[in-house]
Chain A
Amino acid sequence: MIMPLIKGLQITISHMFKKPVTLQYPTERPEIKPGFRGLHALNVSHDKAKCVACYLCPTVCPAKCITVEAGEDANHDKYAAKYEIDMLRCIFCGYCVEACPVDAIRMTEQFELANYSRADFTYTKDRLLEKK
Protein backbone atom coordinates (compact mmCIF):
# COMPACT_ATOMS: atom_id res chain seq x y z
CA MET A 1 0.00 0.00 0.00
CA ILE A 2 2.84 2.40 0.78
CA MET A 3 4.81 1.81 -2.44
CA PRO A 4 2.02 2.88 -4.82
CA LEU A 5 1.64 6.10 -2.81
CA ILE A 6 5.35 6.85 -3.19
CA LYS A 7 5.24 5.90 -6.85
CA GLY A 8 2.40 8.39 -7.34
CA LEU A 9 4.42 11.19 -5.76
CA GLN A 10 7.33 10.25 -7.98
CA ILE A 11 5.22 10.53 -11.11
CA THR A 12 3.81 13.95 -10.25
CA ILE A 13 7.22 15.39 -9.34
CA SER A 14 8.71 14.07 -12.58
CA HIS A 15 5.96 15.87 -14.51
CA MET A 16 7.08 19.13 -12.94
CA PHE A 17 10.23 19.11 -15.03
CA LYS A 18 8.52 18.38 -18.30
CA LYS A 19 7.82 21.14 -20.79
CA PRO A 20 4.19 22.27 -20.41
CA VAL A 21 1.96 21.38 -23.31
CA THR A 22 -0.23 24.45 -22.80
CA LEU A 23 -0.98 26.64 -25.80
CA GLN A 24 -1.22 30.37 -24.93
CA TYR A 25 -4.26 30.55 -27.16
CA PRO A 26 -5.01 34.08 -28.30
CA THR A 27 -1.32 34.85 -28.83
CA GLU A 28 -0.24 31.38 -29.98
CA ARG A 29 -2.39 29.76 -32.63
CA PRO A 30 -2.99 26.03 -32.79
CA GLU A 31 -1.68 24.13 -35.77
CA ILE A 32 -4.72 22.88 -37.70
CA LYS A 33 -4.36 19.31 -38.88
CA PRO A 34 -5.36 18.31 -42.43
CA GLY A 35 -8.93 17.08 -42.61
CA PHE A 36 -10.09 19.37 -39.80
CA ARG A 37 -13.80 20.11 -40.08
CA GLY A 38 -14.43 23.77 -39.35
CA LEU A 39 -16.83 26.34 -40.76
CA HIS A 40 -18.32 25.51 -44.17
CA ALA A 41 -17.60 27.45 -47.34
CA LEU A 42 -19.21 27.40 -50.76
CA ASN A 43 -16.76 26.91 -53.60
CA VAL A 44 -16.82 29.43 -56.38
CA SER A 45 -16.60 28.79 -60.11
CA HIS A 46 -16.95 31.48 -62.80
CA ASP A 47 -17.76 34.08 -60.14
CA LYS A 48 -20.71 32.22 -58.68
CA ALA A 49 -21.32 29.36 -56.31
CA LYS A 50 -20.76 25.94 -57.78
CA CYS A 51 -23.91 24.62 -56.07
CA VAL A 52 -26.53 23.24 -58.48
CA ALA A 53 -29.25 22.93 -55.80
CA CYS A 54 -29.53 19.15 -56.09
CA TYR A 55 -30.69 18.89 -52.44
CA LEU A 56 -28.30 16.06 -51.64
CA CYS A 57 -26.68 17.92 -48.74
CA PRO A 58 -29.92 18.77 -46.85
CA THR A 59 -31.08 15.20 -47.51
CA VAL A 60 -27.97 13.60 -46.10
CA CYS A 61 -27.57 16.07 -43.22
CA PRO A 62 -28.29 14.20 -39.94
CA ALA A 63 -28.87 17.42 -38.01
CA LYS A 64 -31.17 18.93 -40.64
CA CYS A 65 -29.30 22.20 -40.49
CA ILE A 66 -29.04 22.99 -44.22
CA THR A 67 -31.79 24.84 -46.10
CA VAL A 68 -31.58 25.02 -49.88
CA GLU A 69 -34.04 26.68 -52.23
CA ALA A 70 -33.51 26.28 -55.94
CA GLY A 71 -33.75 29.02 -58.51
CA GLU A 72 -33.37 29.15 -62.27
CA ASP A 73 -30.92 31.48 -63.99
CA ALA A 74 -31.02 33.05 -67.47
CA ASN A 75 -29.61 29.90 -69.07
CA HIS A 76 -32.35 27.78 -67.42
CA ASP A 77 -29.72 26.25 -65.11
CA LYS A 78 -30.61 25.39 -61.53
CA TYR A 79 -28.75 27.30 -58.83
CA ALA A 80 -29.13 27.74 -55.10
CA ALA A 81 -31.22 30.87 -54.64
CA LYS A 82 -31.02 30.34 -50.89
CA TYR A 83 -28.38 28.35 -49.10
CA GLU A 84 -28.37 28.52 -45.31
CA ILE A 85 -26.63 26.54 -42.61
CA ASP A 86 -27.87 26.82 -39.04
CA MET A 87 -24.58 26.52 -37.18
CA LEU A 88 -26.35 25.96 -33.86
CA ARG A 89 -27.55 22.58 -35.13
CA CYS A 90 -24.57 21.59 -37.27
CA ILE A 91 -22.57 18.69 -35.83
CA PHE A 92 -19.62 19.11 -38.22
CA CYS A 93 -19.94 15.55 -39.53
CA GLY A 94 -18.87 16.55 -43.04
CA TYR A 95 -21.55 14.43 -44.75
CA CYS A 96 -22.64 17.43 -46.83
CA VAL A 97 -19.13 17.69 -48.27
CA GLU A 98 -19.01 13.99 -49.05
CA ALA A 99 -22.49 13.94 -50.59
CA CYS A 100 -21.96 16.92 -52.90
CA PRO A 101 -21.62 15.67 -56.52
CA VAL A 102 -20.14 18.92 -57.85
CA ASP A 103 -17.68 19.74 -55.05
CA ALA A 104 -19.59 22.91 -54.20
CA ILE A 105 -19.18 22.80 -50.43
CA ARG A 106 -16.08 22.30 -48.35
CA MET A 107 -15.06 22.75 -44.73
CA THR A 108 -12.48 25.36 -43.78
CA GLU A 109 -10.02 25.52 -40.91
CA GLN A 110 -11.95 28.25 -39.13
CA PHE A 111 -12.92 27.12 -35.63
CA GLU A 112 -13.69 30.40 -33.82
CA LEU A 113 -17.44 30.43 -34.26
CA ALA A 114 -18.61 32.24 -31.13
CA ASN A 115 -21.29 34.91 -31.56
CA TYR A 116 -23.43 37.13 -29.38
CA SER A 117 -26.89 36.45 -30.84
CA ARG A 118 -28.68 33.40 -32.19
CA ALA A 119 -29.29 35.13 -35.52
CA ASP A 120 -25.55 35.41 -36.07
CA PHE A 121 -25.27 31.64 -36.13
CA THR A 122 -27.31 31.39 -39.33
CA TYR A 123 -24.77 31.37 -42.15
CA THR A 124 -26.42 32.60 -45.36
CA LYS A 125 -25.13 32.02 -48.87
CA ASP A 126 -23.38 35.39 -48.87
CA ARG A 127 -21.57 34.68 -45.65
CA LEU A 128 -20.52 31.23 -46.80
CA LEU A 129 -19.23 32.58 -50.11
CA GLU A 130 -17.16 35.23 -48.35
CA LYS A 131 -14.93 32.59 -46.89
CA LYS A 132 -12.37 31.83 -49.55
Chain B
Amino acid sequence: MDTLILGLPVAYYIAMVAKVLVAFVFVLLTVAYATYAERKIIGHMQVRLGPMRTGWHGLLQPIADGVKLFFKEEIVPSQASKFAFLIAPLVALIPAFISFAVIPFGDSVTIGGYTVPLQIAAYYDEAGKQVFDINVGVLYILAMASLGVYGIVLAGWASNSKYSLLGGLRSAAQMISYELAAGLAIISVFMLSESLSLHKIVADQAGGAWYAFKQPFAFIIFFICSLAEINRTPFDLPEAETELVSGFCTEYSSMKYAMFFMAEYANMITVCAVTTTLFLGGWHGPAFLPGWFWFIAKVYFLIFVCMWVRATYPRYRYDQLMRLGWKVFLPLTLVNVMATGLWVMFISK
Protein backbone atom coordinates (compact mmCIF):
# COMPACT_ATOMS: atom_id res chain seq x y z
CA MET B 1 0.00 0.00 0.00
CA ASP B 2 1.00 3.67 -0.17
CA THR B 3 2.16 6.12 2.47
CA LEU B 4 1.43 5.23 6.07
CA ILE B 5 0.39 7.70 8.77
CA LEU B 6 0.66 6.28 12.29
CA GLY B 7 0.84 2.83 10.76
CA LEU B 8 -2.30 3.15 8.66
CA PRO B 9 -2.63 3.99 4.95
CA VAL B 10 -3.91 7.43 3.85
CA ALA B 11 -6.96 5.79 2.27
CA TYR B 12 -7.99 4.70 5.77
CA TYR B 13 -8.16 8.30 6.96
CA ILE B 14 -10.02 9.46 3.84
CA ALA B 15 -12.52 6.63 4.26
CA MET B 16 -12.92 7.52 7.94
CA VAL B 17 -13.75 11.16 7.22
CA ALA B 18 -16.14 10.15 4.43
CA LYS B 19 -17.90 7.67 6.72
CA VAL B 20 -18.27 10.24 9.50
CA LEU B 21 -19.74 12.77 7.06
CA VAL B 22 -22.15 10.29 5.52
CA ALA B 23 -23.34 9.03 8.91
CA PHE B 24 -23.71 12.58 10.24
CA VAL B 25 -25.73 13.74 7.24
CA PHE B 26 -27.83 10.57 7.42
CA VAL B 27 -28.67 11.19 11.07
CA LEU B 28 -29.35 14.90 10.51
CA LEU B 29 -31.66 14.26 7.57
CA THR B 30 -33.43 11.46 9.41
CA VAL B 31 -33.89 13.72 12.44
CA ALA B 32 -35.39 16.47 10.27
CA TYR B 33 -37.74 14.15 8.46
CA ALA B 34 -38.55 12.08 11.55
CA THR B 35 -40.18 15.20 13.02
CA TYR B 36 -42.22 15.53 9.83
CA ALA B 37 -43.01 11.80 9.70
CA GLU B 38 -44.07 11.82 13.33
CA ARG B 39 -46.58 14.61 12.74
CA LYS B 40 -47.87 12.91 9.62
CA ILE B 41 -48.13 9.41 11.09
CA ILE B 42 -49.74 10.51 14.33
CA GLY B 43 -52.02 12.76 12.29
CA HIS B 44 -53.25 9.88 10.20
CA MET B 45 -53.58 7.64 13.25
CA GLN B 46 -55.89 10.29 14.69
CA VAL B 47 -57.85 10.47 11.40
CA ARG B 48 -56.47 13.88 10.46
CA LEU B 49 -53.88 14.99 7.94
CA GLY B 50 -50.87 16.52 9.70
CA PRO B 51 -48.80 19.21 7.95
CA MET B 52 -50.15 20.04 4.47
CA ARG B 53 -49.28 23.66 3.74
CA THR B 54 -45.51 23.91 3.16
CA GLY B 55 -44.62 22.09 -0.02
CA TRP B 56 -46.39 19.06 -1.42
CA HIS B 57 -48.23 17.44 1.52
CA GLY B 58 -46.12 19.55 3.86
CA LEU B 59 -42.81 18.04 2.73
CA LEU B 60 -40.89 21.29 3.27
CA GLN B 61 -42.15 21.61 6.84
CA PRO B 62 -38.83 20.61 8.50
CA ILE B 63 -37.03 23.36 6.54
CA ALA B 64 -39.68 25.90 7.52
CA ASP B 65 -39.36 24.80 11.15
CA GLY B 66 -35.58 25.14 10.97
CA VAL B 67 -35.76 28.65 9.50
CA LYS B 68 -38.30 29.66 12.12
CA LEU B 69 -36.22 28.33 15.00
CA PHE B 70 -33.12 30.14 13.72
CA PHE B 71 -34.88 33.50 13.74
CA LYS B 72 -36.64 33.15 17.08
CA GLU B 73 -35.45 35.20 20.02
CA GLU B 74 -32.85 33.57 22.25
CA ILE B 75 -33.82 33.97 25.88
CA VAL B 76 -31.49 33.22 28.77
CA PRO B 77 -33.19 33.60 32.17
CA SER B 78 -31.49 36.40 34.14
CA GLN B 79 -30.77 34.23 37.19
CA ALA B 80 -29.71 31.19 35.20
CA SER B 81 -26.23 29.74 35.42
CA LYS B 82 -25.21 31.03 32.00
CA PHE B 83 -22.38 28.71 31.04
CA ALA B 84 -24.18 25.55 32.11
CA PHE B 85 -27.37 26.81 30.49
CA LEU B 86 -25.63 27.31 27.16
CA ILE B 87 -23.64 24.09 27.20
CA ALA B 88 -26.47 21.77 28.30
CA PRO B 89 -28.05 21.34 24.83
CA LEU B 90 -24.65 20.38 23.44
CA VAL B 91 -24.11 17.89 26.24
CA ALA B 92 -27.45 16.33 25.36
CA LEU B 93 -26.84 16.37 21.61
CA ILE B 94 -23.30 15.09 21.25
CA PRO B 95 -23.71 11.65 22.91
CA ALA B 96 -26.74 11.04 20.70
CA PHE B 97 -24.58 11.44 17.63
CA ILE B 98 -21.36 9.74 18.68
CA SER B 99 -23.06 6.44 19.46
CA PHE B 100 -23.17 5.95 15.69
CA ALA B 101 -19.41 5.43 15.62
CA VAL B 102 -19.74 1.74 16.42
CA ILE B 103 -22.94 0.80 14.62
CA PRO B 104 -22.38 -1.27 11.48
CA PHE B 105 -24.49 0.25 8.71
CA GLY B 106 -23.69 -2.45 6.22
CA ASP B 107 -21.09 -4.90 5.06
CA SER B 108 -18.35 -3.09 3.15
CA VAL B 109 -17.71 -1.14 -0.01
CA THR B 110 -14.58 -1.20 -2.16
CA ILE B 111 -13.34 2.23 -3.20
CA GLY B 112 -10.12 2.46 -5.25
CA GLY B 113 -8.98 -1.01 -4.28
CA TYR B 114 -9.40 -0.28 -0.57
CA THR B 115 -12.13 -2.21 1.25
CA VAL B 116 -14.05 0.01 3.65
CA PRO B 117 -16.36 -1.49 6.27
CA LEU B 118 -19.57 0.51 6.70
CA GLN B 119 -18.95 1.11 10.37
CA ILE B 120 -17.22 4.32 11.41
CA ALA B 121 -14.88 2.93 14.04
CA ALA B 122 -13.70 -0.06 12.03
CA TYR B 123 -11.21 -0.90 9.32
CA TYR B 124 -10.01 -3.92 7.38
CA ASP B 125 -6.45 -5.11 7.52
CA GLU B 126 -4.38 -4.56 4.38
CA ALA B 127 -5.35 -7.89 2.91
CA GLY B 128 -8.99 -6.84 3.21
CA LYS B 129 -9.75 -9.90 5.31
CA GLN B 130 -10.13 -9.19 8.99
CA VAL B 131 -12.19 -6.35 10.44
CA PHE B 132 -10.80 -4.41 13.35
CA ASP B 133 -13.53 -2.63 15.26
CA ILE B 134 -14.12 -1.54 18.84
CA ASN B 135 -14.49 -4.88 20.59
CA VAL B 136 -16.53 -3.31 23.39
CA GLY B 137 -18.99 -1.57 21.07
CA VAL B 138 -22.05 -2.36 23.18
CA LEU B 139 -20.43 -1.02 26.34
CA TYR B 140 -19.50 2.12 24.42
CA ILE B 141 -23.13 2.60 23.37
CA LEU B 142 -24.42 2.05 26.91
CA ALA B 143 -21.87 4.57 28.19
CA MET B 144 -22.86 7.16 25.58
CA ALA B 145 -26.57 6.60 26.19
CA SER B 146 -26.11 7.31 29.87
CA LEU B 147 -24.13 10.49 29.12
CA GLY B 148 -27.09 12.10 27.38
CA VAL B 149 -28.93 12.46 30.67
CA TYR B 150 -26.21 14.81 31.95
CA GLY B 151 -27.36 17.37 29.42
CA ILE B 152 -30.93 17.10 30.64
CA VAL B 153 -30.05 17.30 34.33
CA LEU B 154 -27.68 20.18 33.62
CA ALA B 155 -30.38 22.01 31.67
CA GLY B 156 -32.84 21.47 34.50
CA TRP B 157 -30.44 22.74 37.12
CA ALA B 158 -29.01 25.66 35.14
CA SER B 159 -32.42 27.08 34.18
CA ASN B 160 -33.08 28.16 37.77
CA SER B 161 -36.71 27.10 37.49
CA LYS B 162 -38.57 24.64 39.69
CA TYR B 163 -40.23 22.96 36.75
CA SER B 164 -36.95 22.50 34.94
CA LEU B 165 -35.22 21.14 38.02
CA LEU B 166 -38.00 18.62 38.65
CA GLY B 167 -37.90 17.58 35.00
CA GLY B 168 -34.14 17.09 35.09
CA LEU B 169 -34.22 15.09 38.32
CA ARG B 170 -37.06 12.91 37.06
CA SER B 171 -34.99 12.18 34.01
CA ALA B 172 -32.05 11.05 36.12
CA ALA B 173 -34.18 8.76 38.28
CA GLN B 174 -35.91 7.35 35.24
CA MET B 175 -32.61 6.75 33.47
CA ILE B 176 -31.22 4.67 36.31
CA SER B 177 -34.30 2.52 36.67
CA TYR B 178 -34.43 1.68 32.98
CA GLU B 179 -30.77 1.49 32.12
CA LEU B 180 -30.35 -1.45 34.51
CA ALA B 181 -33.08 -3.45 32.82
CA ALA B 182 -31.84 -2.48 29.35
CA GLY B 183 -28.30 -3.52 30.27
CA LEU B 184 -29.50 -6.86 31.62
CA ALA B 185 -31.54 -7.42 28.47
CA ILE B 186 -28.41 -6.92 26.36
CA ILE B 187 -26.41 -9.30 28.55
CA SER B 188 -28.40 -12.23 27.23
CA VAL B 189 -27.29 -11.22 23.73
CA PHE B 190 -23.63 -11.18 24.81
CA MET B 191 -24.09 -14.62 26.33
CA LEU B 192 -25.31 -16.00 23.02
CA SER B 193 -22.77 -14.28 20.79
CA GLU B 194 -19.90 -14.37 23.34
CA SER B 195 -18.74 -10.96 22.18
CA LEU B 196 -19.27 -7.26 22.84
CA SER B 197 -18.31 -6.31 19.31
CA LEU B 198 -21.33 -5.19 17.33
CA HIS B 199 -19.72 -6.47 14.14
CA LYS B 200 -19.47 -9.95 15.62
CA ILE B 201 -23.03 -9.80 16.99
CA VAL B 202 -24.36 -8.94 13.52
CA ALA B 203 -22.23 -11.63 11.91
CA ASP B 204 -23.60 -14.22 14.36
CA GLN B 205 -27.15 -13.48 13.28
CA ALA B 206 -26.34 -13.91 9.59
CA GLY B 207 -26.99 -17.59 9.12
CA GLY B 208 -29.39 -18.53 11.89
CA ALA B 209 -32.34 -16.82 13.52
CA TRP B 210 -32.12 -13.21 14.66
CA TYR B 211 -31.69 -12.67 18.37
CA ALA B 212 -35.19 -11.16 18.44
CA PHE B 213 -36.48 -14.70 17.90
CA LYS B 214 -33.96 -16.39 20.18
CA GLN B 215 -34.45 -13.77 22.91
CA PRO B 216 -37.96 -12.35 22.46
CA PHE B 217 -38.25 -11.17 26.08
CA ALA B 218 -34.91 -9.42 25.96
CA PHE B 219 -35.87 -7.83 22.63
CA ILE B 220 -39.17 -6.44 23.86
CA ILE B 221 -37.86 -5.34 27.23
CA PHE B 222 -34.78 -3.73 25.68
CA PHE B 223 -36.91 -1.79 23.23
CA ILE B 224 -39.32 -0.58 25.92
CA CYS B 225 -36.48 0.31 28.28
CA SER B 226 -34.75 2.21 25.51
CA LEU B 227 -37.89 4.23 24.91
CA ALA B 228 -37.94 5.04 28.62
CA GLU B 229 -34.26 5.85 28.66
CA ILE B 230 -34.53 8.38 25.84
CA ASN B 231 -37.64 9.88 27.44
CA ARG B 232 -39.99 9.12 24.62
CA THR B 233 -43.72 8.80 25.02
CA PRO B 234 -45.24 7.03 26.97
CA PHE B 235 -42.29 7.65 29.28
CA ASP B 236 -41.73 11.36 28.53
CA LEU B 237 -42.02 12.38 32.16
CA PRO B 238 -39.08 14.83 32.21
CA GLU B 239 -41.06 17.12 29.92
CA ALA B 240 -44.59 16.16 30.95
CA GLU B 241 -46.36 19.33 29.94
CA THR B 242 -49.43 18.56 32.02
CA GLU B 243 -47.46 18.64 35.27
CA LEU B 244 -44.17 20.36 34.51
CA VAL B 245 -45.03 22.86 31.75
CA SER B 246 -42.25 21.55 29.54
CA GLY B 247 -39.91 20.07 32.15
CA PHE B 248 -36.19 20.50 31.69
CA CYS B 249 -36.57 22.59 28.51
CA THR B 250 -39.14 25.04 29.90
CA GLU B 251 -36.69 27.96 29.77
CA TYR B 252 -35.13 27.07 26.44
CA SER B 253 -35.99 28.81 23.22
CA SER B 254 -34.86 29.10 19.63
CA MET B 255 -31.94 26.92 18.47
CA LYS B 256 -31.09 25.75 21.98
CA TYR B 257 -34.53 24.24 22.24
CA ALA B 258 -34.12 22.82 18.75
CA MET B 259 -30.93 21.11 19.90
CA PHE B 260 -32.82 19.29 22.65
CA PHE B 261 -35.37 18.34 20.07
CA MET B 262 -32.66 17.08 17.74
CA ALA B 263 -31.07 15.16 20.62
CA GLU B 264 -34.38 13.46 21.34
CA TYR B 265 -34.84 12.37 17.75
CA ALA B 266 -31.18 11.46 17.26
CA ASN B 267 -31.48 9.33 20.40
CA MET B 268 -34.51 7.65 18.95
CA ILE B 269 -32.58 6.82 15.78
CA THR B 270 -29.65 5.55 17.86
CA VAL B 271 -31.91 3.33 19.92
CA CYS B 272 -33.57 1.93 16.81
CA ALA B 273 -30.18 1.36 15.19
CA VAL B 274 -28.88 -0.44 18.29
CA THR B 275 -32.01 -2.57 18.53
CA THR B 276 -31.67 -3.44 14.84
CA THR B 277 -28.03 -4.37 15.31
CA LEU B 278 -28.47 -6.41 18.46
CA PHE B 279 -31.77 -8.12 17.78
CA LEU B 280 -32.88 -7.76 14.18
CA GLY B 281 -29.82 -9.06 12.36
CA GLY B 282 -28.29 -5.63 11.62
CA TRP B 283 -27.72 -5.17 7.91
CA HIS B 284 -28.57 -8.72 6.94
CA GLY B 285 -31.59 -9.29 4.74
CA PRO B 286 -32.62 -11.07 1.56
CA ALA B 287 -29.69 -10.92 -0.84
CA PHE B 288 -31.12 -8.85 -3.69
CA LEU B 289 -30.59 -5.42 -2.12
CA PRO B 290 -27.47 -3.94 -0.47
CA GLY B 291 -26.91 -4.38 3.26
CA TRP B 292 -27.22 -0.70 4.14
CA PHE B 293 -30.68 -0.68 2.58
CA TRP B 294 -31.88 -3.44 4.92
CA PHE B 295 -30.27 -1.72 7.87
CA ILE B 296 -32.01 1.59 7.11
CA ALA B 297 -35.32 -0.16 6.38
CA LYS B 298 -35.23 -1.92 9.75
CA VAL B 299 -34.25 1.27 11.58
CA TYR B 300 -37.06 3.20 9.90
CA PHE B 301 -39.52 0.46 10.74
CA LEU B 302 -38.55 0.68 14.42
CA ILE B 303 -38.86 4.47 14.29
CA PHE B 304 -42.34 3.95 12.92
CA VAL B 305 -43.06 1.63 15.85
CA CYS B 306 -41.88 4.35 18.27
CA MET B 307 -44.32 6.78 16.68
CA TRP B 308 -47.07 4.18 16.66
CA VAL B 309 -46.53 3.62 20.39
CA ARG B 310 -46.61 7.36 20.94
CA ALA B 311 -49.93 7.67 19.13
CA THR B 312 -51.42 4.83 21.16
CA TYR B 313 -50.48 4.98 24.82
CA PRO B 314 -51.09 7.69 27.40
CA ARG B 315 -48.18 8.86 29.54
CA TYR B 316 -47.25 6.76 32.59
CA ARG B 317 -47.64 8.25 36.04
CA TYR B 318 -44.32 8.62 37.81
CA ASP B 319 -44.93 5.89 40.40
CA GLN B 320 -46.20 3.54 37.67
CA LEU B 321 -43.04 4.21 35.71
CA MET B 322 -40.82 3.43 38.69
CA ARG B 323 -42.81 0.31 39.50
CA LEU B 324 -42.56 -0.91 35.92
CA GLY B 325 -38.81 -0.38 35.88
CA TRP B 326 -37.86 -1.83 39.25
CA LYS B 327 -40.58 -4.38 39.96
CA VAL B 328 -41.38 -5.72 36.51
CA PHE B 329 -38.54 -5.28 34.04
CA LEU B 330 -35.61 -5.77 36.38
CA PRO B 331 -36.80 -9.15 37.80
CA LEU B 332 -37.91 -10.29 34.34
CA THR B 333 -34.54 -9.53 32.79
CA LEU B 334 -32.72 -11.18 35.71
CA VAL B 335 -34.75 -14.34 35.17
CA ASN B 336 -34.05 -14.09 31.45
CA VAL B 337 -30.32 -13.79 32.04
CA MET B 338 -30.41 -16.82 34.33
CA ALA B 339 -32.42 -18.86 31.85
CA THR B 340 -30.07 -17.87 29.01
CA GLY B 341 -27.09 -18.82 31.16
CA LEU B 342 -28.52 -22.24 31.92
CA TRP B 343 -29.36 -22.75 28.25
CA VAL B 344 -25.87 -21.75 27.12
CA MET B 345 -24.21 -23.97 29.76
CA PHE B 346 -26.27 -27.13 29.53
CA ILE B 347 -28.19 -27.24 26.27
CA SER B 348 -26.42 -25.39 23.47
CA LYS B 349 -23.01 -26.98 24.16
Contact = CB atoms under 8 A, between A and B. Distances in A.
B47 interface: yes
Interface of B: 41, 43-49, 52, 308-309, 311-313
Nearest to A1: B328
B185 to A, nearest CB: 17
Mostly helix, strand, loop or mixed at chain B's interface? helix
A16 B307 CA distance: 12
A115 interface: no
A22 B313 contact: no
Interface in A1-48: 5, 8-9, 11-13, 15-16, 18-22, 24
Contacts of A21: 47-48
Given A12-B45, A13-B45, A20-B43, 19 more contacts: A8-B313, A9-B312, A12-B308, A12-B311, A13-B308, A15-B45, A16-B41, A16-B44, A16-B45, A18-B47, A19-B47, A20-B44, A20-B47, A20-B48, A21-B47, A21-B48, A22-B48, A22-B49, A24-B49
Contacts of A15: 44-47
In which size bucket is the chain A interface?
A: 10 to 19
30 contacts: A5-B313, A8-B312, A8-B313, A9-B308, A9-B309, A9-B312, A11-B312, A12-B45, A12-B308, A12-B311, A12-B312, A13-B45, A13-B308, A15-B44, A15-B45, A15-B46, A15-B47, A16-B41, A16-B44, A16-B45, A18-B47, A19-B47, A20-B43, A20-B44, A20-B48, A20-B49, A21-B47, A22-B49, A24-B49, A24-B52
Nearest to B43: A20
Nearest to B42: A12
B179 to A, nearest CB: 23
Contacts of B49: 20, 22, 24
Interface in A111-132: none
Contacts of A5: 313
Contacts of A18: 47
Nearest to A7: B312
A8 to B, nearest CB: 5
A15 B52 CA distance: 19
Contacts of A8: 312-313
A5 B49 CA distance: 25
A13 B309 CA distance: 10
Nearest to B309: A9
A116 B44 CA distance: 34
